[in-house]
Amino acid sequence: MINVTKTFLPPADEFNAILKKAWDNHWITNRGELVKELENKLKELLGVPFLTLTNNGTVPLQIAIKALGLRGEIITTPFSYVATTSTIVWENCQPVFVDIDPHHLTIDESKIEEAITPSTTAILATHVFGNPCAVNVIEDLAKKHQLKVIYDAAHCFGVKYQGQSVFNFGDVSTCSFHATKLFHTAEGGAMFTSDSHLHDTLFYHHNFGHKGPTAFQGLGINAKMSELSGAMGLSVLPYLDAIMTSRKAAVENYQELLANCGLRFMKIREGTSWNYSYFPVIFESEAILLKVMKVLNENGIMPRRYFYPSLSSLNYVKPQSTPIADKIAEQILCLPLYHELSLTDIQRITNLVKQNL
């Protein structure tokens, strides 16, 4: 069977050798040696001033909303994973959906301003499939209207925009290191900011608000990464270059084999050094998508409808009209993409797709 993704697993002996340090220290969580080492390595690798490792990529969004003191309405995208919207609602704010740019699939920056009301406090947008939002336009709008900006950068490991890590944009960016993501720690994630004061707040928030064993800086939750996840991250890290190289080759093969057959691809924003994290294709209609998906499934190939349905249709948000996102959500399919996917597999997948358009 070929799944939409396949978790990269390092050789078990390499993972065990790193994990042994946790045994030697008899220390398996609460910011042990491995988590600190991973944090330092990632900071250097990504070129970010601050980061806090976390237990997943969802709680950091909640922490960011809390740390920035957001209330009222948050402008967001209907085309993302459910966590982007659910965290807004979880934090008692109201998501206001702005439709997406049909080419880049990110929030349409030209439609943000008309959605701003006196209750708007922030913009929470997703760099969809690692494709950056129009971060400069969004920054200008945020300055003009005194809004905070959070980026759900769950898909963005290794992405650079205009020569620097995409995690450096916005007040806070968050990433997911879930097993299905390009770089993973089984479960895990991170929060990024360039503001040292805000970094401190995020950090305290992720550890119950502790400022030392008996003092508290303020409110907090538990979002700490364990040493087990730290060990996984440290043992995946040496393979990153190889993972990226094989993903890039796979994407290029897909693009070549599916060129000029009527499928539409996501347009990567100019100035981006992309990470080949997903391979979405957009069909002419949902009917064709369903037909192709059925044939692929019958052949043991399991693409995934990312992202479907549109988040503006969730039963806990106020119904809002986002026709472009609603339509694309029905027409888009992520084809299998992972480090071990062979050219033969890609040929088989693309042949089945083309025969059923």
Ligand X SMILES: *Cc1c(COP(=O)(O)O)cnc(C)c1O
| Positions in the binding site for ligand X (CB under 6 A) | 56-58, 80-81, 83-84, 126, 152, 154-155, 176, 178, 189
Question: Which ranges constitute the DSSP H helices of the chain?
Answer: 12-25, 33-46, 59-67, 82-90, 135-145, 196-205, 227-236, 240-257, 286-298, 323-331, 343-355
Q: Which is nearer to ligand X, 126 or 310 (CB)?
A: 126
Cβ of residue 146: shortest distance to ligand X, in angstroms? 26
Q: Given its phi and psi angles, is residue 335 left (phi above 0), alpha (psi -120 to 50 degrees) or beta?
A: beta
- CB nearest ligand X: which residue? 57
Cβ of residue 117: shortest distance to ligand X, in angstroms? 25
Q: Which is nearer to ligand X, 157 or 203 (CB)?
A: 157
Q: Which is nearer to ligand X, 155 or 160 (CB)?
A: 155
Cβ of residue 179: shortest distance to ligand X, in angstroms? 9
Asked whether the beta carbons of 276 and 244 are under 8 A apart, the reply is yes
Cβ of residue 82: shortest distance to ligand X, in angstroms? 8
> In this structure, how many other beta carbons lie within 10 angstroms of the beta carbon of residue 104?
22
Q: Which is nearer to ligand X, 83 or 112 (CB)?
A: 83
Cβ of residue 124: shortest distance to ligand X, in angstroms? 10
Give CA–CA dist 302/202, Å, rounded: 38
Q: Which is nearer to ligand X, 80 or 193 (CB)?
A: 80
Q: Which is nearer to ligand X, 19 or 175 (CB)?
A: 175
Q: Which is nearer to ligand X, 27 or 90 (CB)?
A: 90
Cβ of residue 14: shortest distance to ligand X, in angstroms? 23
Give CA–CA dist 211/347, Å, rounded: 55
| Residues facing 272 on adjacent strands | 161
Largest CA distance in the chain: 66
Cβ of residue 306: shortest distance to ligand X, in angstroms? 8
Give CA–CA dist 71/91, Å, rounded: 8
- Strand-pair category, 172-176 with 189-192: antiparallel
Q: What are phi and psi of 24, to 5 degrees?
A: -60, -40
At position 32, the amino acid (one-letter code) is G
